Protein backbone atom coordinates (compact mmCIF):
# COMPACT_ATOMS: atom_id res chain seq x y z
CA UNK A 1 0.00 0.00 0.00
CA UNK A 2 1.46 3.33 -1.05
CA UNK A 3 1.35 6.24 1.33
CA UNK A 4 0.63 9.68 0.03
CA UNK A 5 3.42 12.05 0.64
CA UNK A 6 2.67 15.03 2.90
CA UNK A 7 3.31 18.53 1.70
CA UNK A 8 6.61 20.01 2.74
CA UNK A 9 6.68 21.11 6.37
CA UNK A 10 6.36 24.81 7.08
CA UNK A 11 9.47 26.33 8.55
CA UNK A 12 9.44 26.15 12.34
CA UNK A 13 9.26 29.93 12.72
CA UNK A 14 6.13 30.10 10.58
CA UNK A 15 4.45 27.32 12.58
CA UNK A 16 5.29 29.11 15.82
CA UNK A 17 3.87 32.34 14.47
CA UNK A 18 0.67 30.57 13.38
CA UNK A 19 0.11 29.04 16.82
CA UNK A 20 0.79 32.38 18.48
CA UNK A 21 -1.86 34.08 16.34
CA UNK A 22 -4.42 31.35 17.08
CA UNK A 23 -3.70 31.55 20.81
CA UNK A 24 -4.14 35.31 20.74
CA UNK A 25 -7.49 34.96 18.98
CA UNK A 26 -8.74 32.47 21.57
CA UNK A 27 -7.63 34.69 24.45
CA UNK A 28 -9.22 37.76 22.90
CA UNK A 29 -12.51 35.94 22.36
CA UNK A 30 -12.68 34.86 25.99
CA UNK A 31 -11.72 38.16 27.59
CA UNK A 32 -14.64 40.49 26.89
CA UNK A 33 -14.70 43.60 29.08
CA UNK A 34 -16.35 43.02 32.45
CA UNK A 35 -19.73 44.64 33.02
CA UNK A 36 -19.85 47.50 35.55
CA UNK A 37 -21.15 46.52 38.98
CA UNK A 38 -24.80 47.55 39.17
CA UNK A 39 -26.18 49.35 42.24
CA UNK A 40 -29.82 50.39 42.66
CA UNK A 41 -31.05 53.01 45.12
CA UNK A 42 -34.55 51.84 46.09
CA UNK A 43 -36.46 54.28 48.26
CA UNK A 44 -38.70 57.29 48.65
CA UNK A 45 -38.23 61.04 48.05
CA UNK A 46 -34.91 61.01 49.93
CA UNK A 47 -33.61 58.65 47.26
CA UNK A 48 -35.57 60.07 44.32
CA UNK A 49 -34.11 63.54 44.81
CA UNK A 50 -37.20 65.55 45.66
CA UNK A 51 -36.61 69.26 45.01
CA UNK A 52 -33.17 68.70 43.47
CA UNK A 53 -31.80 69.36 40.00
CA UNK A 54 -30.36 66.93 37.46
CA UNK A 55 -27.40 64.99 38.84
CA UNK A 56 -28.02 66.13 42.43
CA UNK A 57 -29.99 63.17 43.83
CA UNK A 58 -28.28 60.63 46.06
CA UNK A 59 -27.83 57.85 43.45
CA UNK A 60 -26.34 60.24 40.91
CA UNK A 61 -23.95 61.83 43.39
CA UNK A 62 -22.98 58.40 44.74
CA UNK A 63 -22.19 57.16 41.24
CA UNK A 64 -20.02 60.20 40.54
CA UNK A 65 -18.15 59.81 43.83
CA UNK A 66 -17.53 56.10 43.29
CA UNK A 67 -16.36 56.58 39.71
CA UNK A 68 -14.06 59.39 40.82
CA UNK A 69 -12.38 56.81 43.08
CA UNK A 70 -11.94 54.46 40.13
CA UNK A 71 -14.86 52.13 40.82
CA UNK A 72 -16.46 50.61 37.71
CA UNK A 73 -20.09 50.98 38.81
CA UNK A 74 -23.46 52.36 37.81
CA UNK A 75 -26.04 53.56 40.33
CA UNK A 76 -29.67 53.57 39.19
CA UNK A 77 -32.30 55.74 40.84
CA UNK A 78 -35.37 53.69 41.81
CA UNK A 79 -36.75 56.22 44.27
CA UNK A 80 -40.39 57.33 44.26
CA UNK A 81 -41.45 60.39 46.24
CA UNK A 82 -44.12 59.62 48.83
CA UNK A 83 -43.47 55.90 48.78
CA UNK A 84 -44.09 53.82 51.87
CA UNK A 85 -42.71 50.39 52.72
CA UNK A 86 -45.89 48.78 51.39
CA UNK A 87 -45.65 50.79 48.18
CA UNK A 88 -42.05 49.74 47.77
CA UNK A 89 -42.96 46.10 48.26
CA UNK A 90 -45.72 46.30 45.66
CA UNK A 91 -43.42 47.79 42.97
CA UNK A 92 -40.27 45.86 43.77
CA UNK A 93 -40.50 43.41 40.89
CA UNK A 94 -40.51 46.10 38.21
CA UNK A 95 -38.41 48.73 40.01
CA UNK A 96 -35.33 46.65 40.81
CA UNK A 97 -33.98 44.53 37.93
CA UNK A 98 -32.85 40.99 38.54
CA UNK A 99 -29.32 41.78 37.35
CA UNK A 100 -28.64 44.39 40.06
CA UNK A 101 -25.66 43.44 42.22
CA UNK A 102 -26.31 45.69 45.23
CA UNK A 103 -29.57 47.29 46.35
CA UNK A 104 -29.62 50.19 48.80
CA UNK A 105 -33.03 49.96 50.49
CA UNK A 106 -34.21 53.26 51.96
CA UNK A 107 -37.86 53.10 53.00
CA UNK A 108 -39.92 53.75 56.11
CA UNK A 109 -39.71 57.53 56.54
CA UNK A 110 -43.21 58.04 55.13
CA UNK A 111 -44.53 55.18 57.24
CA UNK A 112 -43.21 57.01 60.29
CA UNK A 113 -44.59 60.40 59.23
CA UNK A 114 -48.02 58.83 58.70
CA UNK A 115 -47.91 57.02 62.02
CA UNK A 116 -48.17 53.58 60.42
CA UNK A 117 -47.72 50.76 62.92
CA UNK A 118 -43.99 49.92 63.14
CA UNK A 119 -44.83 46.21 63.04
CA UNK A 120 -46.34 46.72 59.56
CA UNK A 121 -43.27 48.65 58.39
CA UNK A 122 -40.97 45.91 59.66
CA UNK A 123 -42.99 43.18 57.94
CA UNK A 124 -42.90 45.03 54.61
CA UNK A 125 -39.18 45.72 54.84
CA UNK A 126 -38.49 42.11 55.72
CA UNK A 127 -40.48 40.93 52.70
CA UNK A 128 -38.45 43.31 50.48
CA UNK A 129 -35.18 42.04 51.95
CA UNK A 130 -36.16 38.40 51.51
CA UNK A 131 -37.12 38.95 47.86
CA UNK A 132 -33.83 40.68 47.08
CA UNK A 133 -31.58 38.26 48.95
CA UNK A 134 -33.53 35.40 47.41
CA UNK A 135 -32.35 36.67 44.03
CA UNK A 136 -28.77 36.63 45.29
CA UNK A 137 -28.55 40.42 45.54
CA UNK A 138 -26.60 42.09 48.33
CA UNK A 139 -28.70 44.53 50.39
CA UNK A 140 -27.55 47.67 52.18
CA UNK A 141 -30.27 48.78 54.60
CA UNK A 142 -30.60 52.53 55.26
CA UNK A 143 -32.18 53.24 58.62
CA UNK A 144 -34.54 55.98 59.72
CA UNK A 145 -35.35 57.49 63.12
CA UNK A 146 -38.78 58.53 64.37
CA UNK A 147 -39.52 62.25 64.61
CA UNK A 148 -39.53 63.48 68.24
CA UNK A 149 -43.10 64.77 67.99
CA UNK A 150 -44.38 61.20 67.63
CA UNK A 151 -43.46 60.50 71.23
CA UNK A 152 -41.16 58.06 73.02
CA UNK A 153 -43.45 55.06 72.67
CA UNK A 154 -43.54 55.27 68.89
CA UNK A 155 -39.78 55.86 68.73
CA UNK A 156 -39.17 52.84 70.97
CA UNK A 157 -41.14 50.67 68.54
CA UNK A 158 -39.91 52.21 65.28
CA UNK A 159 -36.20 52.92 65.75
CA UNK A 160 -35.08 49.32 66.43
CA UNK A 161 -36.63 48.02 63.19
CA UNK A 162 -33.53 48.62 61.06
CA UNK A 163 -30.78 47.24 63.32
CA UNK A 164 -32.98 44.25 64.10
CA UNK A 165 -33.55 43.45 60.41
CA UNK A 166 -29.88 44.00 59.61
CA UNK A 167 -28.81 41.58 62.31
CA UNK A 168 -31.46 39.02 61.42
CA UNK A 169 -30.50 38.93 57.74
CA UNK A 170 -26.78 39.72 57.99
CA UNK A 171 -27.08 43.02 56.12
CA UNK A 172 -24.84 46.04 55.94
CA UNK A 173 -26.60 48.77 57.94
CA UNK A 174 -26.52 52.54 57.59
CA UNK A 175 -28.04 53.39 60.99
CA UNK A 176 -29.56 56.75 59.93
CA UNK A 177 -29.75 57.82 56.29
CA UNK A 178 -29.88 61.53 57.17
CA UNK A 179 -27.09 61.39 59.73
CA UNK A 180 -25.17 64.67 59.82
CA UNK A 181 -27.82 66.43 57.73
CA UNK A 182 -31.15 66.21 59.58
CA UNK A 183 -30.23 68.83 62.20
CA UNK A 184 -28.37 71.19 59.85
CA UNK A 185 -30.62 73.89 58.31
CA UNK A 186 -27.94 74.86 55.78
CA UNK A 187 -27.99 71.32 54.39
CA UNK A 188 -31.79 71.09 54.11
CA UNK A 189 -34.35 72.48 51.73
CA UNK A 190 -36.91 75.02 52.91
CA UNK A 191 -39.27 72.25 54.06
CA UNK A 192 -36.74 71.29 56.74
CA UNK A 193 -36.97 67.60 55.80
CA UNK A 194 -35.31 66.98 52.45
CA UNK A 195 -31.58 67.53 51.92
CA UNK A 196 -30.38 70.08 49.41
CA UNK A 197 -27.57 69.28 46.97
CA UNK A 198 -24.93 70.09 49.59
CA UNK A 199 -26.74 67.90 52.10
CA UNK A 200 -26.76 64.98 49.68
CA UNK A 201 -23.05 65.48 49.08
CA UNK A 202 -22.49 65.25 52.84
CA UNK A 203 -24.54 62.03 53.00
CA UNK A 204 -22.57 60.51 50.13
CA UNK A 205 -19.28 61.45 51.76
CA UNK A 206 -20.26 59.80 55.04
CA UNK A 207 -21.58 56.62 53.41
CA UNK A 208 -18.89 56.16 50.79
CA UNK A 209 -16.64 53.89 52.92
CA UNK A 210 -19.58 51.59 53.67
CA UNK A 211 -20.58 51.36 50.02
CA UNK A 212 -16.98 50.76 48.91
CA UNK A 213 -16.66 47.93 51.44
CA UNK A 214 -19.90 46.40 50.16
CA UNK A 215 -18.64 46.61 46.57
CA UNK A 216 -15.45 44.80 47.54
CA UNK A 217 -17.44 42.10 49.35
CA UNK A 218 -19.68 41.62 46.33
CA UNK A 219 -16.68 41.28 44.03
CA UNK A 220 -15.22 38.63 46.34
CA UNK A 221 -18.49 36.70 46.14
CA UNK A 222 -18.43 36.81 42.36
CA UNK A 223 -14.75 35.89 42.05
- What domains appear along the chain, each with residue ranges and CATH number? 37-222 (3.40.50.1110)
Does residue 169 carry a catalytic annotation? no
pLDDT in tens, 48-91: 999 999 999 999 999 999 999 999 999 999 999 999 999 999 99
Q: Check 28, 31, 98, 191 and give the catalytic one.
A: 191
Q: Looking only at Cα atoms, what is the longest distance across the chain?
A: 103
pTM for this model (two decimals): 0.85
Does residue 194 carry a catalytic annotation? yes
DSSP strands (E only) in the chain: 37-43, 73-79, 102-106, 138-142, 172-174
Q: Check 44, 45, 83, 86 and give the catalytic one.
A: 45
Alpha carbons 62 and 76: distance in angstroms, whole number: 10
DSSP secondary-structure letter at 180?
A: T
Q: Check 44, 83, 111, 194 and give the catalytic one.
A: 194
pLDDT in tens, 11-58: 545 555 444 444 444 444 444 557 899 999 999 999 999 999 999 999
Amino acid sequence: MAFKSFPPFLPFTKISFLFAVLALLFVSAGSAPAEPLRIVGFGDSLMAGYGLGPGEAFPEQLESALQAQGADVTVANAGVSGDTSSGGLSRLEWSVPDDADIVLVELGANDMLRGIAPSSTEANLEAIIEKLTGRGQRVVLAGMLAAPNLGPDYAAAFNPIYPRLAERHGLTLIPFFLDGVAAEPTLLQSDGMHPNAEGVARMVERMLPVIRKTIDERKEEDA
